A = this chain, B = another copy of it.
Amino acid sequence: MPKALQGVDQSNAPYVIVSSDTHAGLFVEDYREYLESALHGEFDEWLVGRHEHRAMVEELNADFVNEWESVNEVGLRGAFDPDVRDKTLDADGVAGEVIFADGDAVTGMEAPPFGAGLQAGMITDPRLAWAGARAHNRWLIEFCATNPPRRAGVGLVPITHGVAEAVKEIQDLGGKPGIKGIMIPTMWHDNASYGHESYDPIWAACAEAGLVVHTHSGEADRDSYNENMAQYMLEVPFWTHRPLWQLLLSGKFDKYPNLRYAPVECGSWWLGDLLFKADAMFGGRNWKVKKMSASTHGLIERLPSEYVGDNVFIGASTMSKVEIRRRYTNGVDALMWGTDYPHPEGSWPHTVERLETDFQQVPVEETRLLLGLNAVRCYNLNLDELTAIAGDIGPTPTDLNQDLDLRTDPNAVREARFWFDDYNIEWPEQ
């Protein structure tokens, strides 16, 4: 049984819910005052393209855009208005949140300058990449300061455009109230891949500053899709979690034990099988593993699955049924539920209904980890302050239609992680 479950409250007390995946951002024009003035000219050119993009999306999906924006008019303003935001979180029963850029996923009108948010990897000019990121970070620091206990803001750091600049930005973000992580470009494109030692000063700085490193769903290898949207949709999780294996298998979590990383909004369904393969190939004791591990011996100190729930957390957003069922395989101590507010792919504005149905078969102590305590541990959030907020707005286990007598089977994780038995891998000490 995972250590994280020990001593967790099994009573009907309200859940401390942390959404591990929310978004915030100014309307594009309003970023101007946060952007260095030397770039205002280029910013104005970029704005023209943004508005053209909006017009195109409006035309292609008129019904959806109109309905989404009119029905949710008030709540959508929470992307940049802290009072509206807190009221919306209250209504969802969410005490705390981890905040990424790009408030508007429908027409892209709350993107940081030059697309420095979820599409950061597509910027080729380092000047624009840094200026856009810093403009958003300046605003985000102000925004998170409006209610630090509830906010865990994630700054933008385009590490592919300069390691020294990245370290400086990380040091500037560190310690700011309510700033808890950085997002790096999901793809490294033609730059060195993230396992390369040239990035090490960045991981060192994040570990030092206590900032969690993130990649967030959005980018993929578009050149390979021939405009076929299905290709994109099926591959985007791979491209989002790919950096996890770069960091893990190159030993960054051994070199920087305080380093934490979370892939966000790419689900968790893919995780167990990759842990199975990685544990079996790089940690097992059958003949095949012995032979193959010669070339990988000494790369990492623990089994790959041992880093999960310690250095690796998963911003799994609104979990599907199968992802909830597979929680023991993927890490009941690592999965972090989230709403994706205010994006339409997530649970908002139907979060309450989802919560009332999705966790009925899950013991209370596990639900506490998934809905909040894993995030509290990952981001080192203030549990006392969040508990006080949750006391007013958090749903109770009974509200979620849960059975208070349901307990965790002590063998659940062992059975779920079948590969330990299949490959005679020694079970790690808990």
A contacts, CB < 8 Å to B: 61, 64, 188, 192-193, 195-197, 223-226, 228-231, 233-235, 237-238, 242, 245-246, 249-250, 269-270, 273-274, 276-278, 281-282, 288, 291-292, 294-296, 299-300, 320-322, 344-345, 418-419, 422
A269 lies within 8 A of B273 (CB): yes
Offer 5 A-B interface pairs, CB within 8 angstroms, sorted by A: A193-B226, A228-B250, A230-B299, A233-B296, A237-B277
Q: Which of B188, B237, B274, B321 contacts A234 (CB 8 A)?
A: B274
Give the distance to chain B from A327, nearest Cβ to Cβ, in Å: 15
Known contacts: A238-B238, A345-B288. The answer to whether A282 contacts B419 by CB under 8 A is: no
Give the distance to chain B from A133, nearest Cβ to Cβ, in Å: 23
7 closest A-B pairs by CB = A193-B224, A229-B295, A230-B249, A230-B296, A321-B422, A196-B226, A229-B296
Interface of A: prevailing SS: helix
Give the distance to chain B from A213, nearest Cβ to Cβ, in Å: 18
Chain B residues whose C-beta falls within 8 Å of the C-beta of A282 in the assembled complex: 230
Give the distance to chain B from A237, nearest Cβ to Cβ, in Å: 8
A292 lies within 8 A of B233 (CB): yes
A245 lies within 8 A of B234 (CB): yes
Give the distance to chain B from A169, nearest Cβ to Cβ, in Å: 24
B419 lies within 8 A of A228 (CB): no
Chain B residues whose C-beta falls within 8 Å of the C-beta of A321 in the assembled complex: 418, 422
Given A228-B299, A233-B292, A288-B345, 13 new contacts (CB under 8 A): A61-B294, A64-B291, A224-B246, A228-B249, A230-B249, A230-B278, A238-B238, A269-B276, A270-B273, A276-B322, A321-B418, A321-B422, A322-B419
Give the complex CA separation of A281 and B300 in angstroms. Answer: 37
Q: Which of B234, B320, B344, B422 contacts A322 (CB 8 A)?
A: B422
Give the complex CA separation of A278 and B229 in angstroms. Answer: 12
Give the distance to chain B from A421, nearest Cβ to Cβ, in Å: 9
Q: Which residue of B lies closest to A198 (CB)?
A: B226
Known contacts: A321-B422, A322-B422. The answer to whether A226 contacts B245 by CB under 8 A is: no
Give the complex CA separation of A295 and B225 in angstroms. Answer: 13
Chain B residues whose C-beta falls within 8 Å of the C-beta of A226 in the assembled complex: 192-193, 195-197, 250
Give the complex CA separation of A194 and B288 in angstroms. Answer: 33
Chain B residues whose C-beta falls within 8 Å of the C-beta of A233 in the assembled complex: 281, 292, 296
Give the complex CA separation of A300 and B292 in angstroms. Answer: 40
Give the distance to chain B from A83, nearest Cβ to Cβ, in Å: 30
A273 lies within 8 A of B274 (CB): no
Q: Which residue of B lies closest to A422 (CB)?
A: B321
Q: Which residue of B lies closest to A321 (CB)?
A: B422
Chain B residues whose C-beta falls within 8 Å of the C-beta of A223 in the assembled complex: 193
Give the complex CA separation of A223 and B192 in angstroms. Answer: 8
B276 lies within 8 A of A230 (CB): no
Chain B residues whose C-beta falls within 8 Å of the C-beta of A345 in the assembled complex: 288
Q: Which residue of B lies closest to A274 (CB)?
A: B234
Give the distance to chain B from A9, nearest Cβ to Cβ, in Å: 30
Give the distance to chain B from A423, nearest Cβ to Cβ, in Å: 9
Give the complex CA separation of A340 and B230 in angstroms. Answer: 33
Chain B residues whose C-beta falls within 8 Å of the C-beta of A269 in the assembled complex: 273, 276-277
Give the distance to chain B from A418, nearest Cβ to Cβ, in Å: 6
B245 lies within 8 A of A235 (CB): yes
Give the distance to chain B from A255, nearest Cβ to Cβ, in Å: 14
Chain B residues whose C-beta falls within 8 Å of the C-beta of A422 in the assembled complex: 320-322
Q: Which residue of B lies closest to A231 (CB)?
A: B249
Give the complex CA separation of A273 and B269 in angstroms. Answer: 7
Chain B residues whose C-beta falls within 8 Å of the C-beta of A281 in the assembled complex: 230, 233-234
A246 lies within 8 A of B231 (CB): yes
